[in-house]
Amino acid sequence: MSDIHQLPDWPNFRYDATALLGPLSNVAERRGFLIGKLEALGFGDLQEAKLNAMAAEATKSSEIEGERLNYDEVRSSIARKLGMETGGIPMGDRRSEGVSDIAVDASDHWREPLTSDRLFQWHKRLFPDGRGPYGRIHSGEWRDESSGQMLVVSGDIGYELVHFEAPAANRVEGEMDRFLAWFDRGAERNGILRAAIAHLWFVTIHPFEDGNGRVGRAVLDLALAQSDRRDWRCYSVSEQILQERQAYYDALQVTQGGTMDVTQWIEWLLGSLARALETAIGRTAAVLSRAGFWHAHAEKNLNERQRKVLHRMLGDWEGKMTSQKWQKLTGASPKTATRDMVELVEAGIFLRDEGVRKNAAYVLLWDRSGDIVDKV
The pLDDT tens digits for 324-350 are 999 999 999 999 999 999 999 999 999
Look at residue 321 and give its three-state secondary structure.
strand
Residue whose C-alpha is closest to residue 15's, from 196, 155, 137: 196
Distance CA 344, CA 313 (A): 13
Statement: residue 85 has pLDDT above 90: no
What mean pLDDT is predicted for residues 150-158? Answer: 60
Distance CA 341, CA 334 (A): 11
Look at residue 202 and give its three-state secondary structure.
helix
Q: How many CB atoms lie within 10 A of CB 67?
A: 15
What mean pLDDT is predicted for residues 219-227? Answer: 94
Statement: residue 314 has pLDDT above 60: yes
Statement: residue 270 has pLDDT above 90: yes
Res 374: pLDDT: 41
> Which value, to the nearest 10 degrees, does the dihedral of the CA atoms of residues 297, 300, 306, 309 take?
0
Q: How confident is the model at residue 373 (pLDDT cuts 50, 70, 90)?
A: very low
In sequence order, what are the residues at sequence separation of 6 or more whose Cβ sits closer than 8 angstroms to the Cβ of residue 180? 114, 115, 116
* Bond preceding residue 334 cis, omega within 30 of 0: no
Q: How confident is the model at residue 369 (pLDDT cuts 50, 70, 90)?
A: low
Over the stretch 26-45, which tens digit does the pLDDT of each residue have? 999 999 989 888 888 888 88
Q: How confident is the model at residue 291 (pLDDT cuts 50, 70, 90)?
A: confident
Highest-pLDDT range among 1-5, 60-64, 368-372? 60-64
Residue whose C-alpha is closest to residue 343's, from 358, 332, 356: 332
Res 88: pLDDT: 64
4-288: CATH number: 1.10.3290.10
User: What pTM, to 2 d.p., does this model score?
Assistant: 0.81
Res 122: pLDDT: 97
Q: Where are the domains of the chain?
A: 4-288, 299-364
CATH class held by domain 299-364 = mainly alpha
